[in-house]
Amino acid sequence: MIELRDVSHAYGDRPVLRGISLDLTEHRIGIIGANGSGKSSLARTLNGLVVPDSGTVRVDGRDTRRDPRAARRRVGFVFSDASTQILMPTVAEDVALGLRRAGLTADETRTRVDAVLDRHGLLDHRDHPAHLLSGGQKQMLALASVLVTKPDVLVCDEPTTLLDMHNARVIERTLRSLPQRLVLLTHQLDMLQGFDRVLVMDGGRVVFDGAPDEATAHYTALMDARAASMEPSNQGERA
């Protein structure tokens, strides 16, 4: 379980998280919100990438402030831009990187790497230069590189944002098929169908927490109201 207690954080004088308390226990959790709403910062607190200015985040009872490495072992993180997540020149080497400190033999590492590449359709590319893969393949590689370490929870920060519809669908299906608990940040609301819980973020706060349909309706209404307030006629009225 991931517990957040009164979590607040700011970048300089810009607060991005304001007093968030949550227990994340469900199998599939979605987080939606406008750009700058704080959802990426919230996601980054879940595996210790961001240590909040105040409040605590515990992953299976371990405080991310005191033991961020333990949190990262349990919570894998996939970024929206796979290119920056790929650190090694070839596909297999990038997947193997996360296992360098796992104390495995070369054969064990190879077996595990090949298994995860095979599962995600990348085995034929194992010795290919990672930077020459297509966008969808890169995102799949980023996912495989995290999954090879067998995390309990996977946090995906807009993993389909840079992908075309076909590749987005492939990633979506892959995420749905994973046994791991999933925390998915997305702007593609249809991806949240069947999720157990969806959080709506706005201004660094969770402004709605509930079922996917209600959450997306709440978010849509919030964005409609905001767009309406930005229309020139309304701005004129305000002026």
Partner 1 sequence: MNVLGLFVPGRSVLHRLPAGAKLLGLLALVTVLVVLDDHRAGLVATPAAALACLAAYPASGLGLRRPLRLLLPLLPFLAVIALFQTLTGDPRAAFRVCLLLVAAVLAAGLVTFTTRVSAMLDLFERLARPLAPLGVRPDRVALVLALTVRSVPMVAAAWQESRDACAARGLPAWPHLTVVPVIVGMIRTAEAMGEAMTARGVD
Binding site for partner 1 (CB under 8 A): 47, 49, 69, 72-73, 76-77, 79, 81, 83-90, 93, 96-98, 100-101, 127-129, 131-132, 145-146, 149
State in angstroms the smallest separation of the CB of 116 from partner 1. Answer: 14
Minimum CB distance to partner 1 smaller for 76 or for 136: 76
Instruction: Quote the least distance from Cβ 235 to partner 1, whole Å.
Output: 31
Q: Please say which residue, 132 or 228, places its beta carbon nearer to partner 1.
A: 132
CA dist 43 and 49 (Å) reads 9
- 57/96 with CB nearer partner 1: 96
- Complex with partner 1: residue 65 or 205, whichever CB lies closer: 65
Select 119 or 128, whichever has its Cβ closest to partner 1: 128
Task: Supply the minimum distance, in Å, between the C-beta of residue 66 and partner 1.
Answer: 16
Shortest spacing between CB 88 and partner 1, in angstroms: 6
Residue whose entry in the numeric block shows the structure tokens 């517990």: 3
- Shortest Cβ 39–partner 1 spacing (Å): 16
In angstroms, the CA 210 to CA 31 distance is: 11
